[in-house]
């Protein structure tokens, strides 16, 4: 497996080093300064964050805190959350849920999606590794598609004595680029961004102050969907096949003279 990875990386580098897919999918923590310090309390008011940004928020135990982030085809996002709990509290269980742009709950492949903080524990850490986002899927499938993703952070069980006490939350989303292995055919005309139909209408109007359901977009825009390293693999395959063909031809054709014709004839 590792050899495959190394070799395919080498192939990629040999083939089209400057391919658009070579760009790292998870932007660095360049926007740390402007990271949001608030969280929304519903899908409608979810705070938009970028991938690679460390968003913080203050809330009360029992609040439902919402953030949203963009995820593009070929990415496998990982959501990490840390909840800072007050000095004294009873044992409580926290949980993160991730929903896609259609508000469908998305499964976590692995990661501690729920975790119980022992009594008086200072913090609890949660994580959720999503499935790889695909460019297209059948309408009957629940596959993650490019678009807005919502994170909901909340406490699952809370004794009344701890209801409403102040807690802090930190959320960060990073994603791994899964490359051509996840490149599927077909693509959506618009990413699964809620209110997409209204957003395009607003763009035409070019109105100044308008609230939209989700105006989210990855830093370098949504991928056009045509590029994948499958082009490199297929191209190199074709070249190798041609070379092998020449080799085979050279092998059987020999010098070009029949053996029974004496030399110099």
Partner 1 sequence: MIIRKRLATGLCALLAALSAGLAFPDGAVADETTADVPKVNLVLDVSGSMRTRDIDGGTRMAAAKQAFNEVLDATPEEVRLGIRTLGANYPGDDRRTGCKDTAQLYPVGPLDRTEAKTAVATLTPTGWTPIGPALLKAADDLDGGTGSKRIVLISDGEDTCAPLDPCEVAREIAAKGIGLTIDTLGLVPNAKMRQQLSCIAEATGGTYTSVEHTDELTDRVNQLVDRAADPVVTPVATEGADACAKAPTLKSGLYTDREEFGRQRWYRVDVEPGQELRASVSVAADRAVNPSYGVLLRAVTVHGREIVRGEAAENGRTDVISTGLRYPKAETDEEDAPAETVCLQVTNSFSVASGVKTTPGLPLELTVDVVDGPSQAGDVASFGLGRGWWLLAALVVAGFLAGLLWGWLSRWRFAVWRTN
Residues 33-92 within binding reach of partner 1 (CB under 8 A): 38, 41-45, 58-60, 62-64
Among 176, 180, 219, 222, binds partner 1 (CB under 8 A): 180
Q: Report in angstroms how near the CB of residue 28 gets to partner 1 at its nearest.
A: 27
Burial letters 169-205, b for 16+ CB under 10 A, else e: bbbbbbbebbbbebbeeebbeebbbbbbeebeeeeee
Instruction: Tell me which residue has tokens 């063909």.
Output: 245
| Residue whose CB is less far from partner 1, 122 or 237 | 237
- Residue 44 or 118 with smaller CB distance to partner 1: 44
CA 173 to chain centre: 9
d(CA 18, CA 148): 28
Cβ 175 to partner 1, closest distance in Å? 19
Q: Return the residues of window 184-213 that contact partner 1 according to CB under 8 A.
A: 184-190, 192, 194-202, 205, 207-213
> Binder to partner 1 among 22, 119, 156, 220 (CB under 8 A)?
156
Number of residues binding to partner 1, judged by CB under 8 A: 93
Bridge-based pairing of strands 47-48 and 65-71 is parallel
Q: Beta strand 65-71 with 114-117: parallel, antiparallel or unpaired?
A: unpaired
Q: Does 183 bind partner 1 (CB under 8 A)?
A: yes
Residue pair 17/40 in contact (Cβ under 8 Å)? The answer is no
- Write down the least CB distance from residue 110 to partner 1, Å: 20
Q: Quick one: 71 or 192, whose CB is closer to partner 1? A: 192
**136 in contact with partner 1 (CB under 8 A):** yes
- Coil, strand or helix at 247: helix
- 250 contributes a contact to partner 1 by CB under 8 A: yes
Separation between Cα atoms, residue 82 and residue 5, nearest integer Å = 32
- How far, rounded to the nearest angstrom, does the alpha carbon of residue 6 sit from its chain's CA centroid? 22
Site for partner 1 in 212-231 (CB under 8 A): 212-213, 225-226, 228-231
Q: Which of 198, 101, 112 is nearest to 151 (CA)?
A: 101
- With respect to partner 1, which residue has the nearer C-beta, 109 or 200? 200
Residue placing its CB nearer to partner 1 in the complex, 19 or 27: 19
Q: Quick check: 112 and 82 in contact, CB under 8 A?
A: no
Q: Which is nearer to partner 1, 52 or 162 (CB)?
A: 162
Does the footprint of partner 1 cover residue 248 (CB under 8 A)? yes
Quick one: 17 or 261, whose CB is closer to partner 1? 261
């Amino acid at each position: 497996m590792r050899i495959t990875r190394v070799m395919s990386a080498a192939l990629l580098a040999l083939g089209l080093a400057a391919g658009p897919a070579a760009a790292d999918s998870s932007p660095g923590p360049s926007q740390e300064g402007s990271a949001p310090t608030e969280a929304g309390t519903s899908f409608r008011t979810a705070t938009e964050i970028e991938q690679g940004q460390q968003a913080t928020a203050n809330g009360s135990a029992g609040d439902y805190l919402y953030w949203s982030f963009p995820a593009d085809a070929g990415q496998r996002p990982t959501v990490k959350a840390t909840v800072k709990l007050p000095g004294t509290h009873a044992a409580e269980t926290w949980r993160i849920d991730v929903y896609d742009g259609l508000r469908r709950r998305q499964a976590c492949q692995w990661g501690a999606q729920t975790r119980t903080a022992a009594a008086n524990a200072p913090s609890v850490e949660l994580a959720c590794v999503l499935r790889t986002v695909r460019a297209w899927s059948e309408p009957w499938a629940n596959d993650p598609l490019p678009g807005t993703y919502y994170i909901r952070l909340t406490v699952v069980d809370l004794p009344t004595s701890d209801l409403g006490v102040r807690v802090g939350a930190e959320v960060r989303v990073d994603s791994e680029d899964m490359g051509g292995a996840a490149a599927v055919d077909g693509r959506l005309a618009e990413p699964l961004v809620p209110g997409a139909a209204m957003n395009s209408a607003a763009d035409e109007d070019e109105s100044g102050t308008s609230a939209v359901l989700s105006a989210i977009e990855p830093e370098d825009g949504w991928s056009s969907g045509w590029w994948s390293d499958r082009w490199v693999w297929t191209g190199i395959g074709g070249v190798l096949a041609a070379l092998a063909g020449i080799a085979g031809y050279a092998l059987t054709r020999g010098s070009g003279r029949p053996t029974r014709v004496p030399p110099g004839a």
